[in-house]
């Protein structure tokens, strides 16, 4: 098999593969920077919790319009923002920390969403909701993903400095600006929006995969924040491309293959990345007795 037939032909011959590739590239551009900021804020598990929090809204969208990705995406957006708001209120009004309140709401949301889908859907419908249908991405769904990515890039360009400041020293930002909570809320909106976009392709269980795994890879290679953002975006895009090619030729589920490809990048980075295991072992001082 020639290189052209291996890497190019699937996207030339099949429209669904082209749409899936565009969706992956768009997700990489939007989710890459968000994942890096989440990681630097030590909120990686919050991102995972939020990816499950959108399930009840997606389930309601499924009940109303069936497997309509735009309807499920809008429902997921509403549910995710509601969970983010409620978690913030609980963490500020009780002794619970934000991560504990997110975890509590995420477990409730996951159980409620599965219950709603199971009431009227089949096991196949539930699998589509949980694991996504990236090869079934249609025009409206692609427009929704592209719109969320565009809004994310524009918003990050406008509020990049305060978001970074709030990321590293939220107390300082509140003291000099007074709008730290506003920027934090805006960031959570961007997180939910990009998880909704990823849900269109990867389902609720793996929506956070293209957000956090490339960010972790970038942290092991890049030394600056812009470098980490660019590296994470590149890894996410490459994971989508390679995962689609492998799933096409080997007849595997596309969503899990894409996330496992990103996981492979992560494992390689753990060993060979900057500060990885290989460098630590080689740089360890040796004493000759």
DSSP annotation of 1 reads -
pLDDT at 245 (0 to 100)? 95
Q: What are the domain boundaries of the chain? A: 3-283
- The two tokens of residue 72 are 């499920």
% of the chain at pLDDT higher than 70: 89
User: Do 128 and 255 touch, CB atoms closer than 8 A?
Assistant: no
How high does pLDDT run on average in the chain? 84
286 pLDDT higher than 60 = no
Section 31-44 average pLDDT: 88
pLDDT tens by residue, 85-115: 888 788 777 877 776 777 788 788 878 888 8
Query: SS3 of 13, please?
Result: helix
Q: What is the DSSP string of 68-129?
A: -HHHHHHHHHHHHHHHHHHHHHHHHHSS--HHHHHHHHHHHHHHHHHHHHHHHS-HHHHHHH
d(CA 97, CA 40): 18
pLDDT tens by residue, 242-268: 999 999 999 888 888 999 999 999 999
d(CA 197, CA 31): 9
pTM score, two decimals?
Answer: 0.86
Query: SS3 of 10, please?
Result: helix
Which one has a higher pLDDT value, 289 or 5? 5
pLDDT at 111 (0 to 100)? 85
Other beta carbons less than 10 A from residue 267's beta carbon: 10
- Please give, one letter per residue, the 3-state secondary structure of 252-282: CCHHHHHHHHHHHHHHHHHHHCCCCHHHHHH
Q: What is the dihedral of CA 199, 245, 222, 233, to 10 degrees?
A: -40
In sequence order, the 6+-apart residues with CB closer than 8 A to the CB of 214 are 28, 31, 32, 35, 231, 232, 233, 234, 235, 236, 239, 262, 265
Query: How far are the Cα atoms of 12, 139, 211 from residue 199, in angstroms, in the given order?
Result: 25, 16, 12
The CATH class of the 3-283 domain is: mainly alpha
Query: How far are the Cα atoms of 65, 113, 118, 119 from residue 123, in angstroms, in the given order?
Result: 17, 13, 7, 11
d(CA 182, CA 190): 13
d(CA 41, CA 205): 22
């Amino acid at each position: 098999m020639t290189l052209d037939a291996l890497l190019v032909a699937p996207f030339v011959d099949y429209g669904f593969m082209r749409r899936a590739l565009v969706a992956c590239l768009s997700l990489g551009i939007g989710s890459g920077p968000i994942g890096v900021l989440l990681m630097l804020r030590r909120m990686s598990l919050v991102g995972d919790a939020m990816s499950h929090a959108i399930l009840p809204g997606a389930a309601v969208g499924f009940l109303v319009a069936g497997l309509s990705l735009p309807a499920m995406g809008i429902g997921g957006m509403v549910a995710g923002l509601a969970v983010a708001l409620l978690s913030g209120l609980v963490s500020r009004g009780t002794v619970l920390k934000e991560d504990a309140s997110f975890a509590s709401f995420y477990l409730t949301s996951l159980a409620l969403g599965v219950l709603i889908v199971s009431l009227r859907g089949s096991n196949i419908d539930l699998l589509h909701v949980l694991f996504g249908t990236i090869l079934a991405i249609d025009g409206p769904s692609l427009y929704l993903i592209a719109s969320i990515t565009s809004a994310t890039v524009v918003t990050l360009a406008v509020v990049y400095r305060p978001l970074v400041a709030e990321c590293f020293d939220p107390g300082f930002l509140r003291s000099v600006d007074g709008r730290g909570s506003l920027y934090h809320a805006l960031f959570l909106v961007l997180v939910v929006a990009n998880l909704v976009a990823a849900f269109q392709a990867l389902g609720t269980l793996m929506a956070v995969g293209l957000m956090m795994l490339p960010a972790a890879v970038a942290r092991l290679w890049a030394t600056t924040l812009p470098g980490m953002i660019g590296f994470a975006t590149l890894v996410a895009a490459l994971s989508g491309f390679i995962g689609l090619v492998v799933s096409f030729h080997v007849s595997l589920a596309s969503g899990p293959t894409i996330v496992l490809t990103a996981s492979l990048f992560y494992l390689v980075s753990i060993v060979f990345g900057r500060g990885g295991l290989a460098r630590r072992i080689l740089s360890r001082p040796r004493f000759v007795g």
